[in-house]
Structure 1
Amino acid sequence: MHFAGHPKTLDMFTYLDSDINDLIFSCMTQTSLTGVSGRVVFSTGADPDRLVKVERIQDGARKRIALYRQDKDPKYFEWIEGALIWKGGMIPRDSAYIVYEELKVPVSLSALMLTFAALGIILSIFFLVFNIVYRNNSYVKMSSSNINNVLLLGCMLCYCTVFFKTIAPNDIICKARVLSFSLGFTITFGALFSKTWRVYRIFTNRKLLKLSIKDRQLYAIIIGLVVVVLVVVIIWELVGPHEKEIKILTKEMYTTTDGTEVQPLVNVCDSSYSEIFGWTLYIIEGALLTFGAFLAWETRNVRIKALNDSYRIGLCLYNVVILSAVGLTLSLLLEEEVLIYGITSGCLIIGTTVTQMVIFLPKIQAVWHRVEGQDMSTSDRIGTRAFTTCATTSFANNELKSIDENIKKFPEQNPSHEAIHKRTGSMPAESST
């Protein structure tokens, strides 16, 4: 500005100073420079629609590869076909080229899990047929055969969960996974523990001889548990429904030799309220397991084998708690969805299979021995008669006397019978009336 003969300098510039503004524009009109398209000046009346020749050095010589046509479009390049040659025949990238790769469960693993789940359902159907065919057998009947049928229904739902986990997820499948597992677990262990509750009530109640607990009362307990779980699941789906989401596995990302960045991804089912409602269900199911453990412990001294499943329930509890702890912990720590699928499905199949086999194999064995002519022991017969009479509230004095005589012959096999008399306050009469 000093050379232009103006007394002001740039450090005196303000946006309200029109003198400096006019001076800057005057200087720009006198500016001339050499650009890509030739000589460039900032003045009115110039022609910006020029053809710009684009050249590139190839094989040691300048070669025209395109024309920049401003007369057609400000962004239009007219490329000469075959003129541009890249090293190695590949166009270099100005940024990372990302490719997404979906990870799926290996066919061999999914086929193995589906096969075991199908075999588990077949096993449940076999036990169900056995329960129906031998429902009038004293050993099967005393173990609450109707409730056992409900237990098998829960086992089938648990096996169906494996099928839902294998199918490619969508919104409906995601909801089916949660519903089938929650209901299957609740029905299975609700049925198992309701039977033990009946034994507990009969052998700890002071009015033992007048107590009658029917199957419909046990059905009511199971239905109540199912309703509680259903309410939680329904509220969960209304507030934060399970939906299919794409999860990118950033830790498994890798780059190929040509510079392509491959990002593995998996399709998962997720809900925005998984932590709240998920842990709510865990607490409910955990309380169910705890209550079942309490009942199993309280009825551990009941010596009627056909009636009492406390020892076998203890085995089921140990099995389920260990497998649940392993499956839940690994599913929270691991990020490999394929590995999580294999572990959770395996734990579900093993836990369900062991539960129904522990409950039903002894009954099949007992029935098999009866068919072969090996009847139940005297103590089991005594226990059967005692329980049947208690449940129907018609324990006659002559039957008590007969049972008492048998107990004297087998005191070591029925140590709890005398305790029952003491709790109820009724001793067998000396003579029948």
Structure 2
Amino acid sequence: LVHASLVSAVVSGGLSACGACLTLAAMAVNLWFRKVPYIRLSSPIVNTIIGLGCLLCHASCLIMTFNAYMGSQLGLCWSQLLCLITGYSCAFGGILAKTWRVHRIFTNKMRLTTIKDWHLCMVIAAILLMDAGLLLALGLLDSPALAVKRLSEQDMISDGAVVLHKLVVCQSSSEVLWKGLIIGMKAVFLLFGIFFAWETRTIHVEALNDSKVIGICVYNTTVMGLIGVVLEFALPIGSVDLRLVLLTCCINICSATTVLLVFGGKVGGQGVGC
């Protein structure tokens, strides 16, 4: 059976662990100084949800690493999928909700609009509810199962015997369709983020306006997401080490960059983050 090498597992796991530690530190600072005026105006609760989402993305990379090194297990496959989808929705959903608030407040000229943090949490909850529905449909209609893939590579040994390389993977009968649905739904969120960022680009209330940073976050997420999707479908399934390192790097870089954008300005006191 083919599995990831120790070197690739250490590299992927190490990057994921570093990203998780960075996120935990940023979340701790955010909560500790949550009563500081600038941080309080920036919705520390929502920032914490964003940090939790990034943490779940790093956790999905750790699970992916363990799964690739030790051999696929059905429970780990589900855990990885759940962490990645939920993490994305919490992280980007939080950023999207904050920018939606700015859009509603400054574009609704007919009446004064008050949008509190619990409204933003409801937006995130709605996104998570859609994720739950999609995952429930996947589990009921086309639940992934373990399958053994025979790879094309064969090694001849001295006595004439042939060594067959096999790989255990988690897959469903309509895997491409489900991946397309998941990617499509996340792409819709990205489009909404771009729209709100564009609509609020001229607003200059720094404590509330996240349009500049969300533009960077959207660009970062779009680029790394596109790279990840291309790698997922382009790399041969037998390239275990290459797939593991590149995919975890995409997720870790995207998550760590989001953490730095969201929390970096607050920690530095420069008012740059979301």
Do the aligned residues in 2 keep the contact of 1:253 with 1:261 (CA within 8 Å)? yes
Q: Which residue of 2 aligns with 1:245?
A: 147
Question: Quick one: which of 180, 185, 188 aligns to 1:287?
Answer: 188
Equivalent pair of 1:121/1:156 in contact (CA under 8 Å): yes
Residue of structure 2 equivalent to 1:95: none
Residue in structure 1 matching 2:162, options 261, 265, 269? 261
Name whichever structure is richer in strand by fraction: 1
Task: Specify every segment of 5 or more residues in structure 2 that has no aligned partner in the other structure, as ranges.
Answer: none
1:356 aligns with 2:259: yes
**Partners of 2:137 and 2:61 in 1: how far apart?**
24
**Pair 1:136 & 2:35 matched:** yes
* Counterparts of residues 282-361 of structure 1 (less than 5 Å): 282-335=183-236, 336-361=239-264
2:135 is aligned with 1:233: yes
Q: Is 1:151–1:187's contact at 8 Å kept on the other side of the alignment? A: yes
Aligned mates of 1:259, 1:114 — CA distance in 2: 38
Choose between structure 1 and 2: higher helix proportion: 2
The alignment of Structure 1 onto Structure 2 pairs a total of residues equal to 266
Question: Which of 160, 164, 182 is 2:63 aligned to?
Answer: 164
Tell me, in whole angstroms, the C-alpha distance in 2 between the residues paired with 1:320 and 1:211: 30
**Alignment-derived partner of residue 105 in structure 1:** 4
Runs of 4+ in 1 over 6 A off after TM superposition: none
TM-score by length of 1: 0.59
**Whole-Å Cα distance in 1 between the matches of residues 72 and 136 of structure 2?**
19
TM-score (norm 2): 0.92
- Name stretches of at least 5 consecutive residues in structure 1 with no aligned partner: 1-101, 368-375, 377-433
Distance 1:253 1:342 in 2: 24
Q: Distance in 1 between matches of 2:241 and 2:168?
A: 11
Q: Identify the residue that residue 407 of structure 1 maps to in structure 2.
A: none
Residue aligned with 1:265, SS? strand
Q: Deviations over 1:61-115 (max 9, x none)?
A: xxxxxxxxxxxxxxxxxxxxxxxxxxxxxxxxxxxxxxxxx22111111112112
TM superposition shift of 1:306: 2.2
- State the shift of 1:337 in Å: 2.6
RMSD: 1.6
Q: Rg: which structure is higher?
A: 1
Distance (Å, rounded) in 1 between the aligned partners of 2:209 and 2:40: 12
Q: Counterpart of 1:177 in structure 2: which amino acid?
A: Q
Match of 2:120 in 1: 218
Cα-to-partner distance string for 1:218-244 (whole Å, 9 max, x where unaligned): 111100100001110111011111222
- Return the structure number with greater relative CO, CA threshold 8 A, min gap 6: 2
Q: Give per-residue Cα distances to partners, 1:147-199, cap 9 Å, x unaligned.
A: 00111111111011012112232121111111111111111100111000001
Question: Structure 2: how far apart are the matches of 1:297 and 1:259?
Answer: 66
Query: Which residue does the alignment assign to 1:202?
Result: 105
Equivalence for 1:44: none
Which of 64, 87, 90 is the aligned partner of 1:184? Answer: 87
